[in-house]
Structure 1
Amino acid sequence: MPRPDARCRPSWGDLVSQWVSGSWRPGELRVVSRDDGLLIVAGQCLATSARMRADLDKVLRSGDLTSLTCWPGSYLAILVREDSLTALVDLAGQYPLYYCEGKGETVIGTRPRGVAEVAKMRPQPDVLTLLAQVFCPAVPPLTEPRSVYSGVSRLGGGQALRVSATGSCSVWTYDRLVPHPDAHFDDAATALRAALSEAVNARVDSGGHLTADFSGGLDSSSVAFLASGRLNRPLDVFTYHNPDSPADDLVHAERYVSLDERLRHVVVHGSEDTLSYQSLSAAHGDLPDFAVAASARTRTRLARVAETGRGIHLDGDGGDALLVPPPAYLAGLAQVGAFGRLVDECRLQAKARRLSRADVMARSVRLSLTSLERALRRLALRIERPLDRNTQWSDAIGWWPEPGAELAWLTEQARIELAELVRAATANVEPYEGLAAGDFAALGELRAAGAFHRQLGENAREFGVWPHAPFLDNNVIRACLLVPAHERARKGAFKPLLRQALSGLVPGEIFSRTTKGSYTIEDYRGAKRAAASLRRRVATLKLAEQRVIDPVAVRGSLDAIVARVRAPVPALNRLLGVDLWLQTSHRDEETVRGSVVRAESCS
């Protein structure tokens, strides 16, 4: 195959034809070559070169790929041998792989648009996949193995792809993240202590400039304290604070930062211009940015971090998904017959949210008797017959949080097609066998965190900042999910697994906080300030041109948000992200970093 264009350069060997384009961060693309195989690692791999070489030799001798997924970091690993190419995606799905099968060849890459172009396909957005991402974001079976481009498949978190010498492909899940039947809470805490310490230490030891988030929450604070304990110099830590729309973070951050003199606190001040929905712009990379509403705030934070130096920036993303059991954990208690605990937990959850204890209990028991296939069929019916109401906490006592008033945005034909996609997904549940509803819901949140962090990394590229989330490392994920969701809950305790895991390693005072910062005030104030531009955008939605979205219904939800009436804000943010992406997805691909591999038939 001839070189695609002058911007690309050959990267490795004759086993396959491969090109790398664009700019990569130092260490973001690593290659280990041996006589009988080649390993390419893309993403955040913190293993030493010696360890990578030793483990690769072991893999080439035994054929067991496990060690390639156990290094500190979150990364895509591609092993090339004379008779095959095998790719393994990190467990969070932060570094997915895209591929397209042809006659006797398979094109793979880290960018779906690039894969489509090299495969000589016209990149065409997959509208049904986009609708699934907007309206059913926590239901992974709907979009596997689809991507945002028609004809291009996506290899997601925990999945593996093997391309044979004949060009045929096989896909499987190499780690289902099913809780270990003999593991206990103490085992998970011990494993998390070791894995999170290794994850943070590896980043500190990698050298270069290091900074960290410090929201005053448990996750980012824990990571920052672990890093400061390893460093031999001060660590700059950052807290965002908008004095006119406080998120309740600064007071906690100021109290905790005083516990370690090695932490150098930097407060990033927000303003009217950093409110949600201000100066909306298309995402970097070639995927929709579902956090686009907060882009002004994110850019302000990244710019301030960059002022102190370019390099790795640690954050606590992924911690909530792994450490806060989703409401579906209650069904797990019913499944194992822990009815005493179930009664207590239902009472606590209902009281905290002013809900009916009987309703919470009934939903939990009903869920314990509902299979994933049955839940998918119910979801299809819900899409076809939407309820005109906003959801509440108890609606998340399910395999996924139920969609709410946003379903009214869909046209009738779109509802029919999306419901058909949901029903078809009942044939795609095998990768989730062994997972209870709470574990499945946690996995959905984990994959959402991985996608969010991937996009954050792309947005941070222009600032020279490389966000790293140690909680998204493979081994940290395995440690947290070693026990089922209902075992990660403890009566009245907030993130008890993290508290026990880090006992003695970080100041115990940080675990006194049981709340999270909220940007709700910024969302509502920002929507009101940007109301005119948002209404113009809603009136010209690209998906409305495809006749799958009713802009009048979306306008009604937007008006409710502007008036500070409860409305589906997260769904609106996802819809805006898709719309911005559709309007700019034709941009010059030269701005997109990525790699493309064409594995040709050897027969």
Structure 2
Amino acid sequence: MDSGRWFLVLPDSEQALTIARRVQPFVCESIAHASGRPWLMGCWDGDGIAVGSSDANRMAAIGTFSATEADLSRWAARADEPEPAGALHLIASLDGRVRVRGSMSGTHRVFHALVDGVTVAADRARTLAWLTGAPLDEGRLAVRMAYPQPPHPLEDTAVWRGVEALAGGSVLTVDPTGAAHVRRWWQAPEPELPLEEGAHALREALLEAVELRTRGGGVLGMDLSGGLDSTSLCFLAARTGAQLVTVTLRWAAAGNEDADWADRAAAHLPGCERLVYGPDELPPFFTGVGSLGDGRSEDEPTMSVREDAQQDAIDQELLARGVRLRLGGHGGDHVVQSPASYVHDLLRRSPAEALRNAMGYRARHRWPAAATARMLLDRTPYSRWLTAASDSLTAPPTDWPEPWGTSPRMPPWASGDAVAAVAALLRRTEAEPLDPARGRHARIHQAQTVGRLGRQMTMRELVTDSPFCDDKVIEACLRVRAEATASPWAYKPLLVRAMRGLVPDEVLTRTTKDHSGHEWFSGLKLQRPALAALAEDSLLVRHGLVDADPLRRALLSPQLSTVPAQPLEQTLGHEMWLRDLEAHPTPAYLLKEHHATAH
């Protein structure tokens, strides 16, 4: 996927011909049903799609995948529901019926809407919003202001009225009349494997995921941050013989070890070209805040506003060196280790081990004793927990575990209407958890959240992809007992064991993770004029989601350390997203001149 790729899936009906004629001026490619009517329409890379056929059936894979045209033809003939490795959309036309699915993780999403009385599917919600003229749903947009993240299933919605998002792991079927049906195709594997067996499975899944991305040849950009996730991918990619250009950032804070660990790893990667940036060699964080975007806004606000200008500069350097794809370790933190809530599940199987681990986490993170006990013993149903969360949206955030995850909070500058809208959505949501077990629910939710964030990275001019977000990699991690993947006394034990023998032992000994807090604060301070302009003319205020005075005080606070960082960054992302939508009512990716430039 990249910033110029999009597609629509049309049902095999006469009614869909009108829709096809409306979008035809924006289309680069089109593939027909066996009937000759349009089936797939849009713009895509030729090497990112494969199509197989058998009599009246068609099957297409779009993305990064292991399937061949012969595989797709065989599956089409049998109307199979295969699960090829990679990160992809799988779309079928089966004797008049259309079937569409994306990934479980959310890296490849599916949206659908009624257009002229028939259901049309797309890989981008914004395409359907543009096609139907759908207005924004302020309530769903307000949900995305909740931090640290909206709970399942509220984060898995589209922010336009009448546009629906397919839940990760679900499949959409559209019959010839245009009627739609949704059902689950993905089931979480049982967590049965001990560490050794699980590490072997994860190693094989990561090797396959990286090889899928290197098999096209050419030059690959690799993030070499110094962290264990991106470093592991660098060694796996080098193992395939790919030509690599690595990227390392040196942060300014005293004691930050990221670059030192990256240097240690690079010493074992002699064939790689390195790009190493010092603190003053890239645009500061938040550069461009307040300026109009380029029309590439995606389906929802992003958290990338902090580093967009910085990453654009890096991408241009990589493109100048012939890089065709960039790989990063995004998602590794959230996929290879379970959230600490697994101790709730473990207590039912092994009380002594659960209590020992819970006490270890409590000592490490300073959890209050009462909160730890509540988390271990809680039996609150998920729907009741959601209802209870609606009453604490404006309470101070907590630093200790809760039964089904951290209860969402709204920013202190959120309007009363925004808080009320989110509370109402929480109260009327009748949802089952992703798994009956608390820890399993948290693992799946965490994987899907980072998958959706990873999807946003694939929309850049130079695609940044992460093998950690592939379904097969996530499944390999989920098959491992949670207590083997996370511990208060070990750092990413599953990944360390999986990489043993592929990554030098010296590199696998890191047990810390650093941050770029110094650059965060200094970047915001440099952007005070732009922040002041945002505060005076905020679209969030106009939409009734934010109160002007509290927002102004936060953006212009002389003591930024007293302002909650994540909600501030999310708010800026929302503001810039709304401004880009207003400035570009027709998405840039629909314009053929944009597609020609992107390729």
The change in CA–CA distance for 1:593 and 1:4 in structure 2 (over 3 A counts) is closer
How far off is 1:398 after superposition?
A: 4.1
Identify which of 45, 60, 64 aligns with 2:80: 64
Q: Structure 1-normalised TM-score?
A: 0.87
Q: Which residue of 2 aligns with 1:28?
A: 48
The change in CA–CA distance for 1:125 and 1:434 in structure 2 (over 3 A counts) is same
> 5 Å matches for 1:365-444?
365-367=376-378, 369-383=379-393, 386-387=394-395, 389-392=396-399, 394=400, 396-404=401-409, 406-425=410-429, 427-429=430-432, 432=433, 434-444=435-445
Mapped to 2, the partners of 1:181 and 1:243 lie a distance apart of 41
Identify which of 32, 49, 60 aligns with 1:40: 60
CA contact (8 A) 2:364 2:488 kept: no
Q: Does 1:108 align with 2:121?
A: yes
Q: Which residue of 1 aligns with 2:314?
A: 301
How far off is 1:86 after superposition?
A: 0.7
Q: Does 1:553 align with 2:572?
A: no
Once the two structures are superposed, residues 4-35 of structure 1 have per-residue CA deviations (whole angstroms, 9 ceiling, x without a partner) of 3433245112444246445x345233333332
CA contact (8 A) 1:129 1:148 kept: yes
Q: Does 1:17 align with 2:21?
A: no
Q: Which residue of 1 aligns with 2:177?
A: 166
CA contact (8 A) 2:119 2:178 kept: yes
Matching residue's letter, 1:437: R
Matching residue's letter, 1:373: S
Identify which of 298, 311, 316 aligns with 2:329: 316
Report SS of the residue matched to 2:174: strand
Aligned residues, how many? 565
Mapped to 2, the partners of 1:203 and 1:10 lie a distance apart of 24
Gapped runs of 5+ residues in structure 1?
596-603
Mapped to 2, the partners of 1:556 and 1:366 lie a distance apart of 41
Q: Which residue of 2 aligns with 1:139?
A: 151
Q: Does 1:517 align with 2:514?
A: yes
CA contact (8 A) 2:230 2:328 kept: yes
Once the two structures are superposed, residues 58-85 of structure 1 have per-residue CA deviations (whole angstroms, 9 ceiling, x without a partner) of 4532x430x2x322x2111111112311
Mapped to 2, the partners of 1:528 and 1:184 lie a distance apart of 49
CA contact (8 A) 1:390 1:567 kept: no
Q: Which residue of 1 aligns with 2:261?
A: 252
Q: Which residue of 1 aligns with 2:570?
A: 574
Q: Does 1:6 align with 2:11?
A: no
Mapped to 2, the partners of 1:286 and 1:220 lie a distance apart of 25
CA contact (8 A) 2:248 2:275 kept: yes
CA contact (8 A) 1:276 1:522 kept: yes
CA contact (8 A) 1:138 1:441 kept: no
Q: Which residue of 1 aligns with 2:165?
A: 154
Q: Does 1:584 align with 2:580?
A: yes
The change in CA–CA distance for 1:440 and 1:274 in structure 2 (over 3 A counts) is farther
Mapped to 1, the partners of 2:49 and 2:585 lie a distance apart of 23
Mapped to 2, the partners of 1:527 and 1:350 lie a distance apart of 34
Mapped to 1, the partners of 2:360 and 2:587 lie a distance apart of 54
Report SS of the residue matched to 1:284: coil
Identify which of 214, 235, 239 aligns with 1:229: 239
Mapped to 1, the partners of 2:89 and 2:331 lie a distance apart of 18
Q: Does 1:498 align with 2:495?
A: yes
How far off is 1:490 after superposition?
A: 3.4
Identify which of 127, 133, 141 aligns with 1:130: 141
Mapped to 2, the partners of 1:356 and 1:82 lie a distance apart of 58
How far off is 1:593 after superposition?
A: 4.9
Q: Which residue of 1 aligns with 2:96?
A: 83
Report SS of the residue matched to 1:428: coil
Mapped to 2, the partners of 1:74 and 1:205 lie a distance apart of 15
CA contact (8 A) 2:468 2:474 kept: yes
- Determine which structure has greater relative contact order: mean sequence separation of CA pairs < 8 Å that are 6+ residues apart, divided by chain length: 1
Mapped to 2, the partners of 1:347 and 1:57 lie a distance apart of 53
CA contact (8 A) 1:135 1:407 kept: yes
Mapped to 2, the partners of 1:59 and 1:419 lie a distance apart of 45
CA contact (8 A) 1:214 1:238 kept: yes
The change in CA–CA distance for 1:272 and 1:378 in structure 2 (over 3 A counts) is farther
CA contact (8 A) 2:326 2:465 kept: yes
Identify which of 340, 343, 350 aligns with 1:330: 343
How far off is 1:366 after superposition?
A: 4.0
Matching residue's letter, 2:501: G
Mapped to 1, the partners of 2:77 and 2:591 lie a distance apart of 27
CA contact (8 A) 2:193 2:479 kept: yes
Q: Structure 2-normalised TM-score?
A: 0.87
CA contact (8 A) 1:326 1:438 kept: yes
Mapped to 2, the partners of 1:25 and 1:382 lie a distance apart of 47
What is the root-mean-square deviation of aligned Cα atoms in Å?
2.6
Gapped runs of 5+ residues in structure 2?
1-17, 593-599
Matching residue's letter, 1:237: T
Tell me which moved more, 212-221 or 542-551.
542-551
Tell me which moved more, 131-140 or 221-230.
131-140
How far off is 1:163 after superposition?
A: 0.7
The change in CA–CA distance for 1:245 and 1:91 in structure 2 (over 3 A counts) is farther
Tell me which moved more, 210-219 or 551-560.
551-560
Q: Percent identity?
A: 25
Report SS of the residue matched to 1:11: strand
Report SS of the residue matched to 2:358: helix
How far off is 1:239 after superposition?
A: 0.7
Mapped to 2, the partners of 1:490 and 1:435 lie a distance apart of 22
The change in CA–CA distance for 1:246 and 1:170 in structure 2 (over 3 A counts) is farther
CA contact (8 A) 1:331 1:438 kept: yes
Once the two structures are superposed, residues 461-481 of structure 1 have per-residue CA deviations (whole angstroms, 9 ceiling, x without a partner) of 1xxx22221111121111011
Q: Which residue of 1 aligns with 2:5?
A: none
Mapped to 2, the partners of 1:87 and 1:103 lie a distance apart of 20
Matching residue's letter, 1:96: R
